[in-house]
Amino acid sequence: MFQAFLIKYGEIGVKGKNRYVFEDALADRIRQVLKDVEGFFRISKEKGRIYVEAEGEFDYEEAVAALQRVFGIVGICPVVIVEREGFEELSSHVMSYVREMYGGQKKTFKVHTRRAHKGFPMESMEINAELGGRILDEFPEMTVDVHKPDVTIHIEIRGRIYIYSEVIPGPGGMPLGTNGRSMLLLSGGIDSPVAGYMVAKRGVYIDAVYFHAPPYTSERAKQKVVDLAKKVAAYSGPIRLHVINFTDIQMYIYDQCPHDELTIIMRRYMMRIAQQIAEDTGCLALITGESIGQVASQTVPSLAATNDVCTLPVFRPLIAFDKEDIVTIAKKIDTYEISILPYEDCCTTFVAKHPVTKPRVDVIRRSEKALADKIDEMVEAALASDEIIEVE
């Protein structure tokens, strides 16, 4: 029945000159996700609207699912497009539309006409009243409610006439590419993929870094991170994943530093290395899945001690989220089932029995002095170990 979609997007931040940047980025991303959907699609922008029109047969379900992953879209309206002829022709199209969509259902409705093309012989109000009357006559179980109708039947008169009433929710957010690029510290856990998704939702391109510690962490643990990146990439677009060999640094910290401070010191080195890669690759910020109080390394003093080494902004979108709320999003974006697979990540191999929960920055800095001999060299070696995986 439908051969097109009207795409609704949020109005915030799209005023003035930015509007074109926003709309172009949205249209580009729509084009990109529809490439993988069966069918040929034409995307057009017209006076504050974006239309996706299929040429010939297409997979409706797949097209909707793809559009529901495009940030910036707030609503997807399946549209029937008819030629602009006289009122009788329009009326007959609208009657078949209503029959198909709501025939036999007890719905309240109203008709809302927008006449962008003034060539049509009747005014909007007149069209509303006349079509409303005919719908009542033809579908006696339907009644009019102009204030809170179950169904609003939109008629848009342009070069052609667009008829729609259904709005399928989109993910909201901002179109990708409208807000620069950031580096996600991606582990195999539940939180970091969700953090990446949330920042990407604000229009930010994502790259990622994973600290791998073979043989303490297995190839399967690494594959798990690649699989998670794939799930996030369905929303965020391609992710360049950097896999860094962290084993020597981890062992060295383990040998040289107090064991209750291991996690904090290790996290400081992760941040330093991630930051270096970010700077080398044009990322303007870091992203982590940290959340206050979740584990010993995420108390406020621990977060402060970790953040002490960062000069780039660190985005922690989950900082005040409860685990339950994070899990809800993880399930929605389909990362949860992968995240709970049991393969160890590099933090669990080297955790102390009683990690500090109130580290002092000056104490941690002093402990790190024990690494002075070899750490710079090791950081260089870790950076050189960078294995880049392009995740689509």
Closest separation between CB of residue 301 and ligand ATP, Å?
14
**Paired strand residues for 287:** 184, 315
Residue nearest to ligand ATP (CB): 189
Binding letters toward Mg ion, positions 145-184, x by CB under 5 A? ----------------------------------------
Binding residues for ATP: 185-186, 210-211, 267, 289, 298
Q: Give the closest residue to 392 by CA, choosing from 184, 282, 244, 227.
A: 227
Closest separation between CB of residue 187 and Mg ion, Å?
4
Q: Which is nearer to ligand ATP, 77 or 347 (CB)?
A: 347
Asked if the peptide bond before residue 215 counts as cis, ω within 30 degrees of 0, the response is yes
Residues 72, 173, 189, 355: which binds Mg ion (CB under 5 A)?
189
Query: How far apart (Å, rounded) are the C-alpha atoms in residues 210 and 273?
Result: 11
B/e letters for 369-387, b = 16+ CB within 10 Å, e = fewer, are: eebeeebeebbeebeeeee
Query: How far apart (Å, rounded) are the C-alpha atoms in residues 261 and 155?
Result: 65
Tokens read off for 161: 């006439």
Query: How far apart (Å, rounded) are the C-alpha atoms in residues 144 and 148?
Result: 10
Q: Which does 302 bind (CB under 5 to 8 A by kind): Mg ion, ligand ATP, none?
A: none
Q: Does 294 engage in binding with ligand ATP (CB under 6 A)?
A: yes
Q: Does 295 engage in binding with ligand ATP (CB under 6 A)?
A: yes
Query: How far apart (Å, rounded) are the C-alpha atoms in residues 16 and 291?
Result: 37
Residues 113, 128, 187, 306: which binds Mg ion (CB under 5 A)?
187
Q: Does 297 engage in binding with Mg ion (CB under 5 A)?
A: no
Q: Does 185 engage in binding with ligand ATP (CB under 6 A)?
A: yes
Number of residues near ligand ATP (by CB under 6 A) = 21
Q: Does 192 engage in binding with ligand ATP (CB under 6 A)?
A: yes
User: What's 50-115 look like in SS3?
Assistant: EEEEEECCCCHHHHHHHHCCCCCEEEEEEEEEECCCCHHHHHHHHHHHHHHHHCCCCCEEEEEEEE
Residues 346, 364, 375, 378: which binds ligand ATP (CB under 6 A)?
346
Binding site for ligand ATP (CB under 6 A): 185-187, 189-192, 209-211, 270, 288-290, 294-295, 297-298, 345-347
